[in-house]
Amino acid sequence: MDLPKEVRYRPYADWSDTEIETIQENVAKSPWHATYHIEPKTGLLNDPNGFSYFNGKFQLFYQNWPFGAAHGLKQWVHTESTDLVHFSETGITLEPDNANDSHGAYSGSAYQIGDKLFLFYTGNVRDENWVRNPLQIGAWMDKNGHIEKFKEVLIQQPQDVTEHFRDPQIFEYQNDFYAIVGAQNHEKQGFIKLYKAVDRDVYHWKFVGDLEFGGTGSEYMIECPNLVFVDGKPVLLYSPQGLDKVELSYDNIYPNTYKIYQSFDAEKPALLDGSPIFNLDYGFEAYATQGFNTPDGRALIVSWIGLPDVDYPTDKYDYQGAMSLVKELTLKNGKLYQYPVEAITSLRASEEIFVPKATTNNSYELELAFESDTLTELVLFADSRGRGLKITVDTQTGKITLDRSAAGKQYALDFGTSRSCTIDTGEIVEASIFIDKSIFEIFINKGEKVFTGRVFPTEQQTGIQINSGNPKGYYYNLNY
Ligand code: FRU
């Protein structure tokens, strides 16, 4: 939603209780609230931040402007979870309240150091002429959730980057702390800078070099770079804005991509023997995905189900955006798989053999198997005329297509109403489908390919219809 700068950057303290109540009442009126996905209490949710493990719990923050569905003065909002499925908001926030983050506490990461959680983030600072000076800054969160910001700036804007320099991700590698930061050079190409904490001291970051990762510079900015290790192999997840479609075909305004490597040379610094670049998700919206390695070595990711510069049907209710399920990354035959964590099955409240249904509560999971050499057409969020989210699965060609053009309220039409992908294994065997009111997450072959996105159904769009084919499997009602 377009709101004047004065509104978007109005100090938090200036918003009256009455104004905030009006916003809350408006948010409550939406028919599209999710039941088991994280949504903002009010305003806009964007990137996942500070995804980590600390104090016996998983920590997950999100970027938020609390006063409406627009990108304004951003804060971090804290949630925590013990099972990676049930997350609760704690009321803790990292607010933009000092000179180093005056125009927003932008995205970043977190890592337990000693008995505290270190938050590493970008302070978005602008001067009176609206010239931006991005600062990489830090804060400690203690076990009681008390946050104390560092006074000192940890990394200043280097000479060879423009104002686009942000989203530090801290990770530990061979007993040292490193951070990668997304950047744009003066030729308007995206790149990534690597820093190392001198003697593991997070107050002192030394520039190691520009990370060689096999990028071509066809993007104009790399947002939210994340390095995780999957079975010892480095995997770089990043959001290259403006990436040339000759390099990688994608339909969304900005892609979220990844590359798999054989090794990481922290001194050169380089990611070596990289795969081609791939789309992380084939749906309508998944962006700024953040990952981390858990203390027990798993690689977990979570994505923003939303995109920058896109208006959503919920905007008129003063909120926008949701967080994806937590997905675990694995490698099978050198290929990256993403699949919800095991504990997701704890949401299953009832199990039924899958059959078409005239009505559901649009909060369910499907586990479906498809016959070979068959064209299946399935409509979710279907009304009595069969209008809804159409999923076509062709097991002869290995092609899967989603069409949301008849699924309720339309938006982002400039970017088309269908998405598709082809399965590399040649065989589409099964799909796990998670539906949550206005959110879908579809995992093909246990996460070989993923479609994430939104639809905003009418009140009548609650059914499941089969137009052709005979998929077999289970339907589960989900309860949070
Ligand atoms: C990505 C992003 C980040 C930035 C944040 C601001 O969506 O633009 O690069 O830190 O959002 O909210």
Atom of ligand 1 minimally distant from the CA of 47: 7
For residue 122, the ligand 1 atom closest to its alpha carbon is 10
DSSP one-letter code for 464: E
Instruction: Establish whether residue 122 lines the binding site of ligand 1, counting it when its CB lies within 6 angstroms of any ligand atom.
Output: yes
CA distances (Å), origin 263, targets 227, 230, 274: 12, 11, 9
Nearest CA to ligand 1 atom 6: 106
Please provide the DSSP assignment of 365-420 as one string.
Answer: EEEEE--TT-EEEEEEEE-TT--SEEEEEETTTTEEEEE-TTSBB---GGG-SEEE
Q: What is the 3-state secondary structure (H, E, C) of 156-202?
A: CCCCCCCCCEEEEEEEEECCEEEEEEEEECCCCCEEEEEEEEHHHCC
Other Cβ atoms closer than 10 A to 339: 18
- For the purposes of burial, counting CB atoms within 10 Å of the CB of 308, is it exposed (0-12), middle (13-18) or buried (19 or more)? middle
Q: Which of 2, 14, 47, 244 is catalytic?
A: 47
Residue 182 CA, closest ligand 1 atom number:
9
Question: What six digits make up the tokens of 340?
Answer: 């919800």
Distance 299 CA to ligand 1 centre (A): 22
> What's the confidence (pLDDT) of residue 480?
87
pLDDT digits (tens, 9 = 90+) for 22-77: 999 999 999 999 999 999 999 999 999 999 999 999 999 999 999 999 999 999 99
Cα-to-centroid distance, 290 and ligand 1 (Å):
12
Peptide bond into 269 cis (omega under 30): yes
Cα-Cα-Cα-Cα dihedral sign, residues 82, 86, 88, 93 = positive
Return the pLDDT at 1: 79
What is the model's pTM?
0.98
Distance (angstroms) between ligand 1 centre and the Cα of 106 equals 6
Residues of the chain with pLDDT under 50: none
What's the Cα-to-Cα distance from 351 to each of 43, 179, 252, 300, rounded to whole Å?
35, 45, 35, 27
CA distances for 72 relative to 1, 43, 103, 196, angstroms: 11, 9, 8, 31
Residue 2: its pLDDT value, please? Answer: 86
Is 132 near ligand 1, meaning CB less than 6 Å away?
no
Q: What is the reported pLDDT for 313?
A: 98
**How far is the centre of ligand 1, averaged over its atoms, from the C-alpha of 277 (Å)?**
21
Ligand 1 binding pocket includes 47 (Cβ within 6 Å) = yes
Ligand 1 atom closest to 108 (CA): 10
Contact between 368 and 464 (Cβ < 8 Å):
no
Q: How far is the CA of 47 from the centre of ligand 1 (A)?
A: 6
Decide if 47 is catalytic: yes
Q: Widest CA span of the chain, in angstroms?
A: 65
